[in-house]
């Protein structure tokens, strides 16, 4: 079980931070790309969204700063922040591998027409170092019945 700490910012951001200690490092694996996640920074509260999309960004120039900006085709809602010892990747070790969380314009404008795929995760299951559970549309429809 991971120990987590939540920090709320005045501007609406929410940071879910992993608390590292001797007891929870037993399963740590440096080959796992998520192993170096220290926290997830949410730009806004995601509790109102049933799912969120996730992708790995392989050309992040910083360990902790914001990733990608929102545009007409997507809304970036959060990103992973890495530990100080996170390894660099790419040619000459100039990039970091980080997760970014987003919704597409279609997710926001026509949510009933969206057919979630493997990039869609249950928002409640996303924490640092844990991929999260794939969102299943059937889970929600069976609850509503």
- pLDDT one-digit tens code per residue, 61-111: 888 887 776 677 888 999 999 998 888 887 777 888 899 999 998 898 887
Residue 7: the pLDDT is 96
Global pTM? Answer: 0.83
pLDDT of residue 25: 65
Tokens 């999260």 belong to which residue? 132
Residue closest to 42 by CA, chosen among 66, 70, 74, 69 = 66
Secondary structure (H, E, C), the chain: CCEEEEEECCCCCEEEEEECCHHHCCCCCCCCCCCCEEEEEECCCCCCCCEEEEEEEEEECCCCCCCCCCCCCEEEEEEEEECCCCCCECHHHCEEEEEEEEEEHHHHHCHHHCCCCCCEEEHHHCECCECCCECCHHHHHHHHC
Model confidence at 144, pLDDT cuts 50, 70, 90, reads very low
pLDDT score for 140: 47
Place 8 in a pLDDT band, splitting at 50, 70 and 90: very high
117-140 confidence digits (pLDDT tens): 888 999 999 999 999 999 987 654
Q: pLDDT tens, 16-53? A: 999 877 766 666 777 888 989 999 999 988 988 889 99
Q: Residue 1 pLDDT > 90, yes or no? A: no
How far apart are the C-alpha atoms of 111 and 58, rounded to whole Å?
29
Domain assignments of the chain as residue spans, ordered by start: 3-144
């Amino acid at each position: 079980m991971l120990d987590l700490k939540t920090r709320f910012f005045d501007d609406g951001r929410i940071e879910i931070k992993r608390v590292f200690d001797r007891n929870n490092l037993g399963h740590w694996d440096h080959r796992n790309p998520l192993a170096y996640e220290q926290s997830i920074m949410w730009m806004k509260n995601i509790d109102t969204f049933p799912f969120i999309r996730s992708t790995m960004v392989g050309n992040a120039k910083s360990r902790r700063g914001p990733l990608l900006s929102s545009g007409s085709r997507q809304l970036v809602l959060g990103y992973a922040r890495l530990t100080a010892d996170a390894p660099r990747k790419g040619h000459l070790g100039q990039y970091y591998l980080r997760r970014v969380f987003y919704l597409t314009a279609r997710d926001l404008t026509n949510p009933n027409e969206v057919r979630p795929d493997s990039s869609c995760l249950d928002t409640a299951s996303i924490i640092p170092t844990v991929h999260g559970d794939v969102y299943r549309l059937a889970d929600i429809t069976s609850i509503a019945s």
